Chain A
Amino acid sequence: QVQLQQSGPGLVKPSQTLSLTCAISGDSVSSNSAAWNWIRQSPSRGLEWLGRTYYRSKWYNDYAVSVKSRITINPDTSKNQFSLQLNSVTPEDTAVYYCAREIVAGPESGYNWFDPWGQGTLVTVSS
């Protein structure tokens, strides 16, 4: 059974960097049949996909246009985990952040789905 365990601070100051980690058990961050995603949820924006990292002979990243200039998602194969860094945060980045495994079911992303999700981390951006 795959489990994702999130960790990281719940309070970040404006203009600083939000950093979260998602530890994987029961699967590998280097799996060829999965991708590793970050998604956030807020009352104003609902569920918002932020980006993903995945390994297909080499590492790839895809990022949402809305955060592309500020986001980095990195795998850590030594610890079997992946991380999220979001730079220059503002109060609008206040949200519950989730990591999620994307199961690859076909040749295109359109065949895939998220399962499971991490427990969520409420991150508040405030001075």
Chain B
Amino acid sequence: QSVLTQPPSASGTPGQRVTISCSGSSSNIGSNTVNWYQQLPGTAPKLLIYSNNQRPSGVPDRFSGSKSGTSASLAISGLQSEDEADYYCAAWDDSLKGWVFGGGTKLTVL
């Protein structure tokens, strides 16, 4: 069981906006920044959002992140078929003294 909690699945139709939640605790999300990774089928995870809401160069502005208290969210607007992937949140945990991940959310574009 993962330290960070994500819904196992999410879905939307092209053009829609979807959000994926990530819930943690005071020792991880509550006191550190949250990063999001996208994993396309058969590939390694790729950085999508860092420092709660920053996009790396090359990531479309359709992707956005936010954090409040011990929870974080990833929002994808203008959903496209190419967004179909697994999405993971991650944060440093001060109690465990290590990185923790969410269980992943499989996004399906209907």
Given contacts A46-B2, A46-B104, contact A111 B51 (CB under 8 A): yes
**Nearest chain A residue, comparing its CB with the CB of B56:** A115
CA distance A47 to B4 in the complex (A): 11
CA distance A65 to B95 in the complex (A): 11
Most chain A Cβ neighbours within 10 Å, of B33, B37, B44, B47: B44
List which A60-92 residues lie within 8 A (CB) of chain B.
Answer: 62, 64-65
CA distance A45 to B30 in the complex (A): 23
Residue in A37, A111, A117 whose beta carbon sits within 8 Å of that of B32 in the complex: A111
Q: Does B12 reach chain A (CB closer than 8 Å)?
A: no
| A113 engages B101 (CB within 8 Å) | no
CA distance A98 to B88 in the complex (A): 15
| B51 engages A110 (CB within 8 Å) | no
Residue in A46, A49, A114 whose beta carbon sits within 8 Å of that of B47 in the complex: A114
CA distance A46 to B37 in the complex (A): 13
| A110 engages B96 (CB within 8 Å) | no
Given contacts A98-B45, A115-B50, contact A47 B33 (CB under 8 A): no
Q: Does A11 reach chain B (CB closer than 8 Å)?
A: no
4 closest residue pairs by CB, A with B:
A110-B32, A49-B99, A47-B101, A113-B50
Name 4 extra pairs, CB < 8 A, besides A47-B104, A49-B101.
Answer: A39-B99, A47-B88, A109-B99, A114-B35
